[in-house]
Structure 1
Amino acid sequence: MYSFLTVSNWPDYELVDSGNFEKLERFGDYFLARPEPQAIWDQHLPPSEWSRLAQAIFKREKGSTEKGQWQLRKGMAEQWFINYEYQQMKLRFRLGLSSFKHVGLFPEQDPNWKFIYDATKQLKTKPPKILNLFAYTGAASLAAKAAGADVTHLDSVKQVNYWARENMEASNLNQIRWIVEDAMKFVRREVKRGNKYQGLILDPPAYGRGPNGEKWQLEDELNELIKLCAQLLDPVDNLFLINLYSLGFSGLILDNLIRLNFTDHDKAHHEVGEIYLQDRAQRKLPLGTFYRFSTVSYNIIGTK
Structure 2
Amino acid sequence: MADWPDYELIDFGTDGLGRGRRLERFGTLVLDRPCPAADGVTKQRPDAWAAAVARYDGARATDGVWKPAPKKWAPAAACRVPIGQGLTLGLTPTPAGQIGIFPEQFINWRWMYDRLNRYERPLRVLNLFGYTGGSTLAAAAAGAQVTHVDASKPSVQLARDNAERSGMAAAPIRWIVEDAAAYCQRELKRASFYDAVILDPPSYGHGPKGEAWRLERDLPRLLELCRDLTAASRCLFLATCHTPGIGPAELSAYLSDAIVGDCSAPPASGRLWLSTPEGRRLESGVFARWPS
TM-score (norm 2): 0.91
CA RMSD of aligned residues (A): 2.0
Matched, 1:19 2:13: yes
Q: Which has the higher contact order (CA 8 A, sep 6+)?
A: 1
Instruction: Find 1:143's aligned residue among 119, 131, 138.
Output: 138
* Secondary structure class of the residue paired with 1:78: coil
Residue matched to 1:54? 52
Matched, 1:275 2:276: no
Among the aligned pairs, what percent are the same residue?
Answer: 37
* Secondary structure class of the residue paired with 1:275: strand
Residue matched to 2:38? 39
Name the aligned partner's letter for residue 169 of structure 1: E
| Counterparts of 1:276 and 1:120, CA distance in 2 | 23
Query: 1:29-55: per-residue Cα shift (whole Å, max 9, x none)?
Result: 010001001102111122x431x2111
* Secondary structure class of the residue paired with 2:163: helix
Query: 1:124-175: per-residue Cα shift (whole Å, max 9, x none)?
Result: 5x22110100000001000111111111000111111111111101111123
Matched, 1:258 2:282: no
Q: How many residues align structurally?
A: 283
| Counterparts of 1:128 and 1:12, CA distance in 2 | 29
Q: Residues 192-231 of structure 1 correspond to what in structure 2 (within 5 A)?
A: 192-231=189-228
Residue matched to 1:3? none
| Counterparts of 1:265 and 1:27, CA distance in 2 | 41
Shift of 1:192: 2.9
| Counterparts of 2:88 and 2:226, CA distance in 1 | 30
Judge conservation of contact 2:125–2:146 (CA < 8 Å) in 1. yes
Judge conservation of contact 1:97–1:103 (CA < 8 Å) in 2. yes
| Counterparts of 2:131 and 2:2, CA distance in 1 | 22
Judge conservation of contact 1:210–1:216 (CA < 8 Å) in 2. yes
Assess, with a 3 A threshold, how the Cα gap between structure 1 residues 74 and 270 changes in structure 2: closer, same or farther: closer
Name the aligned partner's letter for residue 39 of structure 1: A
| Counterparts of 1:59 and 1:288, CA distance in 2 | 22
TM-score (norm 1): 0.87
Structure 1 unpaired stretches of 5+: 1-6, 295-299
| Counterparts of 2:70 and 2:33, CA distance in 1 | 18
* Secondary structure class of the residue paired with 2:82: strand
Name the aligned partner's letter for residue 57 of structure 1: R
Assess, with a 3 A threshold, how the Cα gap between structure 1 residues 257 and 237 changes in structure 2: closer, same or farther: closer
Structure 2 unpaired stretches of 5+: 15-19
Matched, 1:157 2:156: no
| Counterparts of 2:112 and 2:11, CA distance in 1 | 28
Query: 1:52-86: per-residue Cα shift (whole Å, max 9, x none)?
Result: 211100011x4x33331111299961231121113
Instruction: Find 2:115's aligned residue among 112, 119, 126.
Output: 119
* Secondary structure class of the residue paired with 2:11: strand
